[in-house]
Amino acid sequence: MEVFKQMREFFTCAVPARAATEPCDRSPKPMLGAVCVAGAVACSSVAGLPPAAQAASGPPAAGKPPVPAHVTDVDSVRPNRHKVIRKRFTPAAKPGPKEVRRIIGVEARRWNISPSSLSRRVACESEYKWYADNGSYQGLLQFGSDAFYRGLSSIRSRKVKFTRERKRMVRAEKVVRYSDGSVKRKPGIKRWQRVVTVYRGTLPRNPPITHAWTQLRIGSQAIRGLSAVESSEWSCPA
């Protein structure tokens, strides 16, 4: 288009206005030569343009590369200083000696007695062995059948609840959001967290006579004076 525009301007300047009314007495060859000369001049002028001008006169350039996404928001998600975890559990029927001592502590706090009193009686009766057997007397506290079921009938509550506490290091989280909608999560700083785990369970309704946790509950209530079984029924002191 630029070439034809320059040709049109050339003919406007080269041919006087009166030539339109005068007969054409020129031969085709000179006219053809003039056209070729004009075309060559126009082409040479275009070729001599600087690269930026040539690009402007050519086809449109390809689209620009996409702009990289930028950060629009940053959030810091910090874990709580304290965390409570609730768990269900089954009260142990056949615990080892170490676990027996832990159960003694739980039941002693529950019924407000001295843990050493109950522990002393268990050590004397069975040496912390749930499977201890002495004829008609069995279990941690060497219950006979009559005493065990009397204690079971007055057990008051079958619910068991205790807590465990510990500390741990937890890491915060940094959430970075970008303009293109993407989200990245990055680790943040560490901090201490206090974790309290609450355990809840229920003693069986019809436990065997050797059921360790049930025996320790009846024995705790007997020392506290809340059971149908008297503390004086044991030969071992509390």
* Mean pLDDT, rounded, for 24-30: 46
35 — pLDDT class (breaks 50, 70, 90): very low
Cα–Cα distances (Å) from 143 to 49, 103, 150, 191, 234, in that order, read 112, 18, 11, 50, 9
- The phi, psi pair for 113, rounded to 5°, reads -125, 170
Cα–Cα distance measured from residue 94 to residue 100, given in angstroms and rounded to the nearest whole number: 9
Over the stretch 132-164, which tens digit does the pLDDT of each residue have?
999 899 999 999 999 999 999 999 999 999 999
Does the pLDDT value for residue 18 go beyond 80? no
CA distances from 101 to 91, 122, 216 (A): 14, 9, 10
Residue 188 has pLDDT above 90, yes or no: no
Q: What is the mean pLDDT of residues 35-51?
A: 46
Q: How far apart are CA 63 and CA 81, in angstroms?
A: 52
pLDDT, greater one: 32 or 169: 169
Residue with tokens 């050339």: 10
Average pLDDT over residues 52-81: 71
- As a whole number of angstroms, the distance between CA 219 and CA 162 comes to 18
Mean pLDDT of 39-45: 46
pTM of the model: 0.64
The pLDDT of 69-98, averaged and rounded, is 92
CA distance to 64, 190, 198, 201, 208, per residue, from 139 (Å): 84, 48, 28, 21, 10
